[in-house]
Amino acid sequence: MTPLMNAWQAERIAVIGASEQPAKRGHQIVRALQTSAYNGAIYPIHPKAETIRGLPAFARMADLPAVPDLAVICTPLATVPDLLVDCAAHGTRVVVVVATAQPHERHLEQELRHVADEHGVRLIGTNTSGLLNPHAGINLAGMPTPTAGGLALVSQSGNVALSIMMQSMLYADSGLSGYIGVGNQTDLGFADYLGLFREDPATQAAMLYVEGVGDGQRFLQEVSRFTQTKPLVVLKAGKSQQAVAAVQSHTGSLAGNYRISADLLRTVGAYVVDQPEQLLPVAEVLSHQQGAPRGHWQVVTDGGGHGSVVADLMVDYGVDFAQTDTANPYDLAGAADDNPRVFADCIDAYLNRPEVDGVLVTGLFGGYHRRFDASLLEAEHAAAEAIVDTMRTTGKPVIVHSLYPVVDNPVLQALRAQGIAVVQSLDLAVRLMQALTWRARYRNRHPASLATAIRKRAVSEGAWLTEWEARHRLGQADLLSARDQSLMTHPGQAAEICHALGQQPMALKIMSPDIVHKSDVGGVMLNISGAEALSEAYGQLLHRVGAVCPDADLQGVLVTPMAKAGTELVVGFLNDVQYGSVLMLGIGGTWVEVLADVAFRALPVVENDVRDMIEQLDYKALVQGYRQSRPNDLDSLSRWVVRVADWYLKQDDILEMEFNPVLINPDGFAPVDVRIKAQHTNDRDAPQPNWNRMAP
């Protein structure tokens, strides 16, 4: 268990700077823990007090009877560095720092980060509103403890967080799995907390309020990992210059370019909203219901006005109408005034049609017993139960817009309790339709079950060949040129290799069965020209990789001609236990995990399949050829991908194969880096004896 996960479920919490004064944060945190059903040990720390709120107080960390899983520091920032050392000395690895740096204390945040790194402590904060784990009764935020549920909230604003918690408390069936205030992200940040909630079994979906992030690339990578399995809804601040200035004054964070941030977040699977009030309902509907990638919706209303407004909103939000033999929106025109069951019958009829992927109900439903006659309550209840049954039977989503509030409304509360979204805003209702369709299309483009199964299988079986071995095997099948590669095992080969490859710039890559990601250990050198430079670069490469990986088996250096510049693609082949052999193609290079702009197809494929995959990419213009006189050579690429796919299908021992990057330009393409994972077998042919010599 990671230190952060252990702290999230802390059984012992130290409150450093605990106080008997109600206005002090150290008092509020102790009180919140006592009143939030926390069953663990609370250790108030104060240099002089004997008790605080009836609990024995301790003068320092060294006096505690057991090691706290988590500590909260409520003292001024200048005292925190020494207190971090105390926490580390006594085994506490995660610390919440409440204090805010004053303008003359900005240097202290760097000092805190240095002390934390040096002593192996992780910081939540500084300037944090705290954290909440309702399932464990942990409340370090001083806010009312929300109902325990399945939605996680990570926010850079305590006020935004409080508004969402108050919103959730309006409905008994709406609850949070946890809350973390990121504060100034002196150490831990959004990426770390997403990793926590991705692993947290209580979390079904997450909400983020983001002002600025530190390591943007790592953040996007973690968003991509999260959205493969769980929905994520994000509100990004900083659309205007005034908002950017407010962000910088609030947390010292850089808000960045809103348009770029929002687009990249969408690219890696986050659904981006515009208002804090949208976070909770969108996250709720995505956690309870699933839409369809096609996204054809039927609207059922009991008033023409609402139908017209919804129609306009659906056009504005790009939500598609289902094409049926009846009107859409369909107006019940008073038929439900004395029999609300008509709604349920209508919804059942539509959801059982193959051309309908979901239904929006708008109007008086849930209020007929209030507007017309109390005796209709029983009929509305029966209709609500029937709607829930139809939703479950068909697996298609239902959204209800009602003029009547949910609070103290047994009919609407019954719908919400079963996962049906009920809202009073038509705009929000249509946004929920859009969110469900958007999420379904993203999952269809980036299948979670596929990615998860592939990765689980890949890490549990087989071993990676060196790139020299992989290239040799592909060369034997005439899928790569065997003449465009050499394995260099001593500097004296430099002249021979330069003669064989031609006098052209070369790329050098370390070859070791223990090193898969060569660039991560400095195992790549580019643009090396001439025998003398090649010999010198060979020695440098072995020396620096050996210093980083002293135990690695270094088998030599792969030498290949430098490839002509072009757009970077990734082409992968994977053997999945559930879906069989699969082709992956998309934007490659270092962007493959950040953008997650890839498409999947089951093998075998034909050239048109490859073209369709390229057309599916968000950044297809880069692949096709952007702002250049000639388009990229997609014909040659498509033919090669099909040939490799056909060969891969015949290889029983290969679990996974990846070409990343494949550089494509108007004159052709070049697979620059190759990886193959093969099964462990004792009877497979041994490597060819000439693999340690220059290829013919």
Q: What is the pLDDT of residue 695?
A: 27
Partner residues linked to 463 by β-bridges: 678
Handedness of CA 142, 148, 151, 152 (dihedral sign): positive
Q: What is the pLDDT of residue 447?
A: 52
> Residue 690 — pLDDT band, cuts 50, 70, 90?
very low
Helices (DSSP H) in 477-524: which residue ranges? 494-501
Mean pLDDT of 544-561: 85
Domains and CATH numbers, the chain: 1-127 (3.40.50.720), 146-287 (3.40.50.261), 289-445 (3.40.50.261), 466-561 (3.30.1490.20), 567-671 (3.30.470.20)
Q: What is the pLDDT of residue 94?
A: 98
Q: Name residue, tokens 């050579």.
A: 633
Cα distance between residue 59 and residue 45, in whole Å: 6
- Look at residues 125, 135, 142 and name the one whose alpha carbon lies nearest to residue 34: 142
Handedness of CA 119, 124, 127, 130 (dihedral sign): negative
Q: Name residue, tokens 């015949």.
A: 650
Mean pLDDT of 369-382: 88
Question: Which of 36-45, 218-227, 569-578 is predicted least confidently?
Answer: 569-578
Q: Any idea how long the chain is?
A: 696
SS3 for 559? strand
β-pairing, 12-16 vs 70-73, is parallel
> Residue 482 — pLDDT band, cuts 50, 70, 90?
low
Do 258 and 238 meet the contact criterion of CB atoms below 8 Å apart? yes
Mean pLDDT of 311-336: 91
Question: Which of 297-311, 322-336, 576-590 is predicted least confidently?
Answer: 576-590
- Look at residues 29, 52, 3 and name the one whose alpha carbon lies nearest to residue 98: 29
Do 238 and 247 meet the contact criterion of CB atoms below 8 Å apart? yes
Q: What is the pLDDT of residue 285?
A: 96
Q: Name residue, tokens 């941030």.
A: 261
Q: What is the pLDDT of residue 100?
A: 85
Q: What is the pLDDT of residue 250?
A: 35
Helices (DSSP H) in 152-290: which residue ranges? 158-168, 190-199, 216-227, 241-251, 258-267, 276-288
Q: What is the pLDDT of residue 238?
A: 65
Cα distance between residue 659 and residue 35, in whole Å: 56
- Look at residues 208, 212, 265, 207 and name the one whose alpha carbon lies nearest to residue 243: 212
SS3 for 565? coil
List C-alpha distances in Å: 349 to 84, 359, 578: 63, 11, 34
List C-alpha distances in Å: 30 to 42, 51, 124, 301, 682: 8, 12, 18, 51, 62
Q: What is the pLDDT of residue 625?
A: 84
Tens of pLDDT, residues 422-443 = 999 999 999 999 999 999 998 8
> Residue 105 — pLDDT band, cuts 50, 70, 90?
confident
Tens of pLDDT, residues 642-687 = 999 999 988 888 888 999 889 999 999 988 888 888 885 443 343 3
Q: What share of the chain is helix, strand, coil (3-state, %, to 5)?
A: 45, 20, 35
Beta strands, E only, 307-414 = 320-321, 330-331, 358-363, 398-402
Q: Which of 81-90, 234-243, 507-516 has the highest mean pLDDT?
A: 81-90
Determine what percent of the chain is predicted with pLDDT higher than 90: 52
Q: What is the pLDDT of residue 467?
A: 81
Which is higher by pLDDT, 216 or 313?
Answer: 313
Tokens representing residue 276 in the block: 């804090």
Q: What is the pLDDT of residue 52?
A: 97
Do 523 and 450 meet the contact criterion of CB atoms below 8 Å apart? no
573, pLDDT greater than 80: yes
Mean pLDDT of 440-465: 57
Tens of pLDDT, residues 382-405 = 999 999 999 999 999 999 999 998
Q: What is the pLDDT of residue 451?
A: 38
Q: For the packed helices 276-288 and 426-445, what is the interaxial angle rounded to 10 degrees?
A: 50
> Is pTM beyond 0.85 here?
no
Which is higher by pLDDT, 277 or 495?
Answer: 277
565, pLDDT greater than 70: yes
Q: What is the pLDDT of residue 452?
A: 38
Cα distance between residue 332 and residue 304, in whole Å: 9
Tokens representing residue 400 in the block: 């209800």
Cα distance between residue 132 and residue 142, in whole Å: 9
Mean pLDDT of 347-374: 93
Partner residues linked to 654 by β-bridges: 678
Buried b (16+ CB within 10 A) or exposed e, 657-689: bbbbbbbbbeebbbbbbbbbbbeeeeeeeeeee
Do 168 and 149 meet the contact criterion of CB atoms below 8 Å apart? yes
Cα distance between residue 652 and residue 679, in whole Å: 9
Tens of pLDDT, residues 61-73 = 999 999 999 999 9
Q: How far is CA 169 from the centre of its chain?
A: 27
Question: Which of 94-103, 393-402, 417-426, 494-503 is predicted least confidently?
Answer: 494-503
Tens of pLDDT, residues 327-358 = 999 998 778 788 889 999 999 999 999 999 99
Tens of pLDDT, residues 17-52 = 999 999 999 999 999 999 998 999 999 999 999 999
Buried b (16+ CB within 10 A) or exposed e, 470-505: bbbbbbeeebbeeebbbbbbebebbeebbebbeeee
